[in-house]
Structure 1
């Protein structure tokens, strides 16, 4: 069965290919598969494909596209229409849904990346609020949050920030009414039904329940992001002493 998608313009140098309206593993599978397929079949002017929850953004060089157009395209098509036509040609009848079951099986069989987290206290100042909001004890919040295997749906907001799917519904908590001006790097937060990790010290409004000593982004490495879309992740509770030891090792290795 052929994938259904919609192509929309995003400014003058990008288009969005929408593959769904919901966040789930099947839509994410289509996003990642289409992104990989497009990376393997670039057109003239191609820059990159950026996957998100339910869409793939294609960045391109409009001048390179303009130079590569045939005479008929120059007469009848805009740059956006040229890009849309090329993407349709690349994608038409080239993708099927037959491999989703095997994809799910490989995801389930894969070992998760373990991210150590020191929960509560100075590392997770909003843990008491999350526990009260959810009608749980702080230890129950930690147990639920740490015993789950998460799927990294995408990297965004800032370089290295993972948006994770699979958080237990019992932990859903609204964002803070007043965002913090600065959140420490490595902070693990909850916002609505999502959880994620701040790779940098940035402003943010997520409820902070812990902090990881792992460095999530290093521009000197390849790839620079420690986590990638499509992998599994699991949090592992650690003590403040373990946090300090891992953080010291991380600084020494950089």
Structure 2
């Protein structure tokens, strides 16, 4: 693992663990982020304001009136060294519903034609894979998840959309994602997830977190609409799609 320390202005440091998307790098990022939080809570790391994790790096924002770059880096160095040997954290397991039908999946037919298989096979490949949430970004609650099966790996669309509907499930390169909000976007839309991924009223506004594992369960258009209605009214709790533990996740997978 090749670690680089980069200055991000005069009040932030970025610690890069590598240059690729890889679970080992995510494990290092998460380990360092957790270690910094523990030190902060213990009052043993002065001046740190916030951390921002990505696929392969962690940016640490600090108050230059409370500490300086060299002092902070000296305090962080043992944590960085330990994080390089961190083991992947087994995050929460989710089983999220996705409608792969009709207007919910405007690019499904084109994706199938492009890679030379039928639509049902695209759905089977996409829903039959467990994805790792590498990071949140772009929009509040937007999860970048990998890794897509090799057959589904396509470049971004040559013509991005001005409006991608909220809830759209998309693929591009080796990743899949869910758009929590309507926004522009250039990924291929293959389904729709009715579960809201961000709610500022929750204690933890983002439903998913880096390190979580996600599988998708196909549902019909009618089921998707019913779930959306129940979620809007508050009759359905989004946490119902959280699988209790890894053993339960395996049982759920066998039963699906």
TM-score, structure 2 normalization: 0.84
Residue equivalent to 1:50: 52
Runs (5+) with no aligned partner, structure 1: 66-78
- For the pair 1:172 / 2:172, whether they are aligned, the reply is no
Aligned partner of 1:212 among 187, 193, 198? 193
Q: Deviations over 1:115-165 (max 9, x none)?
A: 111113101101111111111111100000001011111111111000101
Equivalenced residue count is 231
Q: Deviations over 1:87-123 (max 9, x none)?
A: 22x42654462x63xx47xx3xx77301111113101
Runs (5+) with no aligned partner, structure 2: 236-256
**Cα distance in 1, alignment partners of residues 76 and 92 from structure 2:** 34
- For the pair 1:34 / 2:32, whether they are aligned, the reply is yes
**Cα distance in 2, alignment partners of residues 176 and 96 from structure 1:** 36
- Greater C-alpha Rg: 1
Residue equivalent to 2:249: none
- For the pair 1:83 / 2:69, whether they are aligned, the reply is no
**Cα distance in 2, alignment partners of residues 187 and 249 from structure 1:** 18
Deviation, structure 1 residue 244: 0.7
Q: Deviations over 1:178-229 (max 9, x none)?
A: 2111111110001111110000011111110111110000011011001011
Alignment CA distance shift 1:147-1:13 (3 Å): same
Alignment CA distance shift 1:155-1:251 (3 Å): same
The alignment partner of 1:41 has SS state of helix
- For the pair 1:21 / 2:19, whether they are aligned, the reply is yes
**Cα distance in 2, alignment partners of residues 166 and 92 from structure 1:** 26
**Cα distance in 2, alignment partners of residues 23 and 224 from structure 1:** 25
Alignment CA distance shift 1:213-1:13 (3 Å): same
Residue equivalent to 2:213: 232
**Cα distance in 2, alignment partners of residues 4 and 37 from structure 1:** 19
Residue equivalent to 1:124: 105
Q: Deviations over 1:49-88 (max 9, x none)?
A: 22111111112222332xxxxxxxxxxxxx4344333322
Residue equivalent to 2:244: none
